[in-house]
Amino acid sequence: MNRRINRVGEVYEPFKVRFLEREIREPGPDEVLVKVRASAICGSDLHIARGLHPSAPLPVTIGHEFSGDIAAVGEAVTKIRCGQRVTVEPCIVCGKCDACRHGDYGYCENISFTYRNGDGAMADYVIVKEPYVYELPEYLSYETGALIEPLSVATHAVRRAQVGLGESVLVIGAGAIGMMVAAMCRRSGAAQVIIADISDSRLSLAGQIGATETVNSATADLAEAVFRLTGGRGVDKSFECVGRESCFLQAILTLRRNGLATQIGIFEKPMVTFPAGRLITHEIRIQGAQGYCWDFPVAIAAARDLPMEKLITHTFPLEQLKEALDTALDPAAGSIKVVVKP
């Protein structure tokens, strides 16, 4: 391989971005070199950009939702070939702890993600392990292929919640993850999917993605709306996709008795207060969902029937990474998914 320099985007202070320049190394025996074609900005990247991600202190490279082409492979790689279009599951697990040995690698005691290891995908190239590379089907473009990672997050949350036929669901937050959760709930058989947000434009799009009803929680009382729409019962399942205490409260107070709330949003302020008596009087259940575990193949298959391209509102070249982040951070820009293309 000829000597080549890789640019890698890094947030080094809140709202400040720079590019690191590194020589591209040869992939190890079980590694592949991916030439990045599209890399999407995640909500967690925005927490990082603000310097408020609880698990990623600055400085940190960014970018973990991406697709591209295989540029080189290690000597032991057998399932991936050069030139293949791919998307990548960007987690790093040890393979040795009890969870990994039982196949539950999402609960790995040492789990990390490529961007936290300095290998962010806001870059020209990324080196990853072969087992985490998936062929990108022809029905997905590079841009929509970059959205398989967040769709896998939504898939994991919906599978953990065991959403079933005929159930009612509330999704709080009509960002990309919230809309994908709504879509996957409908695919799982939910009869009623209510989604709430403070943006009418996002709610309009959510209705095209999977929601059956929408509520603007800036102009309507969400709890009242939910109980009205469910005949006074409340929803079977709720998903909090924002990361705010007020939204967490809405997620648990709109549940029917024996309902389940799943927390997906990242809390920049980690402590929340809620009426604990509700756990007893209504026997509600609360759980979290992070990342994925055997969810990528499911998400790739589901993406065939989902209008993923509707979620992409802005694209930028890699050189304009700062402008891309600013756009994603600006509520007035109306962005859903911002894609960066090297």
pLDDT digit string, tens, across residues 223-261:
999 999 999 999 999 999 999 999 999 999 999 999 999
What domains, with CATH codes, occur in the chain?
5-140+304-341 (3.90.180.10), 153-288 (3.40.50.720)
**With the CA atoms of 119, 123, 125 and 130 taken in that order, what torsion angle do they form, in degrees rounded to the nearest 10?**
40
Average pLDDT, integer, range 89-116? 94
pLDDT at 56: 87
Tokens of 98: 């009890």
| Residue 231 φ/ψ region, left for φ over 0, alpha for ψ in the -120 to 50 degree band, beta for the rest | left
Average pLDDT, integer, range 208-217? 96
CA contacts within 13 A on the Cβ side of 20 = 19
Arithmetic mean of pLDDT over the chain:
95
- Lowest-confidence segment of 103-117, 136-150, 167-181, 308-322 by average pLDDT: 103-117
Is a pLDDT exceeding 90 seen at residue 2?
no
Average pLDDT, integer, range 42-57? 90
Tell me the pLDDT tens digit for each residue of 288-301: 999 999 999 999 99
- Please give the distance of CA 190 from its chain centroid, rounded to a whole number: 21
Q: Strand 85-88 and strand 133-135: pairing?
A: antiparallel
Is a pLDDT exceeding 60 seen at residue 1?
no
What separation in angstroms does the CA of 45 have from each of 56, 102, 109, 121?
A: 10, 31, 23, 11
Tell me the pLDDT tens digit for each residue of 267-281: 988 899 999 999 999
Calpha distance 170→322 (Å, rounded): 34
Calpha distance 66→279 (Å, rounded): 40
Looking at the chain, list the stretches that DSSP marks H as alpha helix, in order from N- to C-terminal side: 43-49, 98-101, 142-145, 148-161, 176-187, 200-209, 222-229, 245-253, 277-281, 296-303, 321-329
pLDDT at 55: 84
pLDDT at 3: 67
Calpha distance 136→114 (Å, rounded): 19
pLDDT at 41: 97
Q: What percent of the chain has pLDDT over 70?
A: 99
**With the CA atoms of 151, 169, 175 and 116 taken in that order, what torsion angle do they form, in degrees rounded to the nearest 10?**
-50
Q: Which is nearest to 77 in space by CA: 33, 139, 113, 19?
A: 33
Calpha distance 288→190 (Å, rounded): 20
